[in-house]
């Protein structure tokens, strides 16, 4: 199947739907990755801290797809922030992945108190210029972090990967991204199932003959986000991919908007410093 693509601000593009590898066991990551690519996924979201980059690389090789047909993301972990250490960490990721470059390299968290994210961003610019990352972006950055790296370097991240789901819709951050040409990418897009029973989701699922999970993923697509759900089951991967033959109506999108409570499942990027 053909995946919809989102344009990046560096003249490249990213598949709008992908799958995530957080908490996918290292021993089964290659099989899961290859199965997902066979089903039709093209974007594989990983990170050094997930401990399964070797399987991520092995899975893309097992798929037999040519290099320009899949999109690999990895992330620099918090303890590797700083110019030299981020360069070393990204090179170690490439070695584990067995790839000469990744399509997208992200700073995993800003870690404001460490205050090394600006130097880390400069390292990502160097890695991009050296051909080790095709595109560079960030994750869990708030507006002040984004303003600072853009202001100091003149380089705007192509994407910010943030927690986003029906209970945490991030309208202000998304508007900031839109203004600066930054793609929003949604992590924990299913929100730990907390809104599966909500009436707007149930009603749209009944009307469209889709599952609540498919309604939520379709909502991400229609707000213009890139979305990376995780499933370790082949049936789950297939279900999450099957969202391009229906659309939510304007009224259904408006009803979904009422579910926003500003409630996070994960840590607060303003204070998270682990690692």
Ligand X SMILES: NC(=O)c1ccc[n+]([C@@H]2O[C@H](COP(=O)([O-])OP(=O)(O)OC[C@H]3O[C@@H](n4cnc5c(N)ncnc54)[C@H](OP(=O)(O)O)[C@@H]3O)[C@@H](O)[C@H]2O)c1
Please identify which residue in 220, 240, 241, 248 interacts with ligand X, judged by CB under 6 A. Answer: 240
Per-residue binding string, ligand X, 131-150, x by CB under 6 A, is --------xx----------
**21 or 99, CB closer to ligand X?**
21
- 275 vs 271: CA distance, rounded Å: 13
**63 or 165, CB closer to ligand X?**
165
> Is 41 an annotated catalytic residue?
no
What count of other Cβ atoms lies within 10 Å of the Cβ of residue 157? Answer: 29
DSSP assignment of 57-104: HHHHHHHT--GGG-EEEEEE-GGG-SHHHHHHHHHHHHHHHT-S-EEE
**127 or 227, CB closer to ligand X?**
227
Please identify which residue in 228, 241, 243, 259 interacts with ligand X, judged by CB under 6 A. Answer: 228
**154 or 184, CB closer to ligand X?**
184
Please identify which residue in 10, 119, 142, 236 interacts with ligand X, judged by CB under 6 A. Answer: 236
272 binds ligand X (CB under 6 A): no
Ranges within 59-88 binding ligand X (CB under 6 A): none
- 66 vs 257: CA distance, rounded Å: 39
Helix%, strand%, coil% for the chain, nearest 5 = 45, 15, 40
Size of the site for ligand X (CB under 6 A): 23
Residue 250 C-beta: closest distance to ligand X, Å: 25
Please identify which residue in 10, 119, 143, 239 interacts with ligand X, judged by CB under 6 A. Answer: 239
Question: Would you say 30 and 59 are in contact if contact means Cβ atoms under 8 Å apart?
Answer: yes
Look at residues 27, 24, 32, 37 and name the one whose alpha carbon lies nearest to residue 67: 37
Catalytic choice (41, 50, 101, 117):
50
Ranges within 162-191 binding ligand X (CB under 6 A): 187-190
233 binds ligand X (CB under 6 A): yes
Ranges within 20-49 binding ligand X (CB under 6 A): 20-22, 45
Kindly list the distances between the CA atom of residue 200 and the CA atoms of 203, 216, 219, 241, in Å, as whole numbers in the listed order: 5, 10, 11, 21
**28 or 62, CB closer to ligand X?**
28
Look at residues 140, 248, 126 and name the one whose alpha carbon lies nearest to residue 185: 140
Stretch (H or E) spanning 125: helix 117-129
**127 or 237, CB closer to ligand X?**
237
Please identify which residue in 81, 107, 229, 241 interacts with ligand X, judged by CB under 6 A. Answer: 229
Question: Would you say 76 and 89 are in contact if contact means Cβ atoms under 8 Å apart?
Answer: yes
What counts of helices (H) and strands (E) characterise the chain? 10, 10
Residue 73 C-beta: closest distance to ligand X, Å: 8
Which residues are at the interface with ligand X (CB under 6 A)? 20-22, 45, 108, 139-140, 161, 187-190, 213, 228-233, 236, 239-240, 266
The residues assigned a catalytic role are 50
């Amino acid at each position: 199947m053909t995946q919809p693509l989102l344009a990046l601000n560096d003249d490249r593009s990213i598949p709008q739907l992908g799958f995530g590898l957080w908490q996918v066991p290292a021993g089964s990551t290659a099989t899961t990755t290859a199965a997902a690519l066979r089903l039709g996924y093209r974007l594989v979201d990983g990170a050094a801290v997930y401990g399964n980059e070797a399987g991520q690389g092995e899975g893309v090789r097992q798929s037999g797809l040519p290099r320009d047909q899949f999109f690999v993301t990895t992330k620099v972990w918090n303890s590797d922030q700083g110019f030299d250490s981020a360069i070393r960490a990204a090179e170690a990721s490439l070695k584990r992945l067995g790839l000469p470059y990744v399509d997208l390299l992200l700073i995993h968290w800003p870690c404001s108190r460490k205050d090394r994210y600006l130097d880390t961003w400069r390292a990502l610019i160097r890695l991009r210029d050296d051909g080790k990352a095709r595109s560079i972006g960030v994750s869990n950055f708030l507006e002040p972090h984004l303003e600072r790296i853009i202001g100091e370097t003149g380089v705007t991240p192509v994407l910010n990967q943030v927690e986003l789901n029906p209970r945490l819709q991030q309208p202000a951050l998304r508007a900031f991204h839109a203004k600066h040409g930054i793609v929003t990418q949604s992590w924990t897009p299913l929100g730990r199932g907390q809104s599966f029973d909500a009436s707007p989701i149930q009603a749209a699922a009944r009307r469209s003959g889709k599952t609540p999970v498919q309604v939520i993923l379709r909502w991400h697509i229609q707000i213009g986000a890139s979305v990376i759900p995780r499933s370790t089951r082949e049936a789950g991967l297939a279900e999450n991919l099957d969202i391009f033959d229906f659309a939510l109506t304007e009224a259904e999108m408006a009803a979904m908007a009422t579910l926003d409570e500003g409630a996070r499942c994960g840590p607060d990027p303003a204070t998270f410093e682990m690692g």
